[in-house]
Chains A and B, each alone.
Chain A
């Protein structure tokens, strides 16, 4: 419904302003968490309301979740290598 879209849009604009403003505060590692978190929230709003995931049949939601899971497999197992390098006191391992 147009009303939902406009409200969604305003929420997205608000989150954009929020993430921009927050980026100027020094929160250490939480800056990254906040930035990705807010981006994730925006993505969910776009997906649920503009892309109608909220009232789509299950199959479409499974496809969307599947894509996210597979992306996270790529990300986590790759980063897993880099994060654990140097944990053993053996050069090159």
Chain B
């Protein structure tokens, strides 16, 4: 129990009260909460679209919604989930909250810019939601030309504008993280003493900063073409629609690494803490993060194998796509090796971490199937691809996000969540997830196209399984929404270091004070120094 409460400053939640103190805050911890609220809301909006899609797909006929409406549903689902949930998810919530702690700083380099990022994000979200509600957009989240630029009659410009605006939010967050990690580490906090969470977020920030501007200009060019009736992708002027795809995927492939790398960072922390061991091969994992970030920029053409690019170009992208799998595999091996001979405990965050490792690996392996040119021609644009990326983004990122939220919940709120209920939810999520998405590999391989709401009757059984799984998954997601909010108010009070874990954030009270540290810490050990924790571990065990 935190005995110092009487003499220490009020924690960051209590320090100032009232709505203005939240909406005008520059405290990275409060801004993290602003983002948590926003992305949770967007997650359920995107999830609602998914629910309607899965309801429609219960039957082979298109009987719930018209084809045009279905197009708008999957577009809305993709746009909201990619740009308004997955890309911001871990970095703007856990990243914002934890990075200053993990490096020993009192805030990010640019706190006001951090708040501006949130407002820009919200503006982008509102514009995009407006586009969805005022008629929707039917181009898919990929906005391929010439449909998006010339033929679609839906709110393409509004949607593109909303996404472009949110892109600026991403860029500013990435910029903030990069500058912070380079310039504000505490004395003794060398690069190789940083928690792997920071390495992942640093790499993610590099991608945010280098890739997102290309998305911005590409969407702007589509808008120009729609507004002025002439464009760069219009064959009437000699333009090439495939060029749009080059520019779009130059961003959107690295974007998937923006989505997964922070999750990997979370998993590194969880696996270390719940194996009571330093992550095996720390240096390899750190460099693997950077390698994923760099190589991730060199593979975008694998989304365009059947689009019309030259065969030589396709060959190069295929080879590079195999290469990018290697650092991901290194991480999986190292996490597994960390658990081997570790003292593993099965708390909820660890359940999510292990779920991540298994599901990410499965999804990653199917990525290799897709990187093979011959196989890709057969399964591209089918549900095989849909299953692949959902294994990574939902089985990977969302699991890591939930694991991280549970793990740091005591630090962020000062309260413990109910462990039994949480483990049950994790199990429900795992079961629901696999029931939803594994059948999609099968129907895809057997030929069911993606983005269609009508399919041959022989695929119905698997589609029904998938929709049933989706309902279970939905329950699994709703449960934490309720018990975490309940726990924030009524949960058992948490100690400063309940797990216990290494890392500077666990040396502060739960919840921490506004300026994080009374005095700047001086760092003398490596990142996962469990030896030094031994006395605390023993004390925790005597209390449990």
Contact = CB atoms under 8 A, between A and B. Distances in A.
Direct A–B contact in the complex, CB atoms closer than 8 angstroms: yes
B297 A70 contact: yes
B429 to A, nearest CB: 37
B86 to A, nearest CB: 22
B311 A81 contact: no
B482 interface: no
Given A70-B297, A74-B250, A92-B308, A84 B214 contact: no
A70 B311 contact: no
B123 to A, nearest CB: 27
Contacts of B186: none
B-side interface mostly: helix
Contacts of A81: 242, 246, 301, 309-310, 313
A66 B293 CA distance: 13
Nearest to A83: B310
A73 B297 contact: yes
Residue picked from B214, B242, B297, B313, most chain A C-beta under 10 Å: B313
Give the interface size class of chain A: 10 to 19
17 contacts: A67-B210, A73-B298, A77-B298, A77-B300, A77-B313, A77-B316, A78-B246, A78-B250, A80-B313, A84-B310, A85-B310, A87-B310, A87-B311, A87-B312, A88-B310, A90-B311, A93-B310
A10 to B, nearest CB: 34
A84 B308 CA distance: 12
B182 interface: yes
Interface string A53-81: 00000010000001100100110011011
Contacts of A86: 310
Contacts of B316: 77, 80
Interface string A25-54: 000000000000000000000000000000
Interface string B299-315: 01100000011111100
Contacts of B243: 78
A70 B251 CA distance: 12
Interface in B263-304: 297-298, 300-301
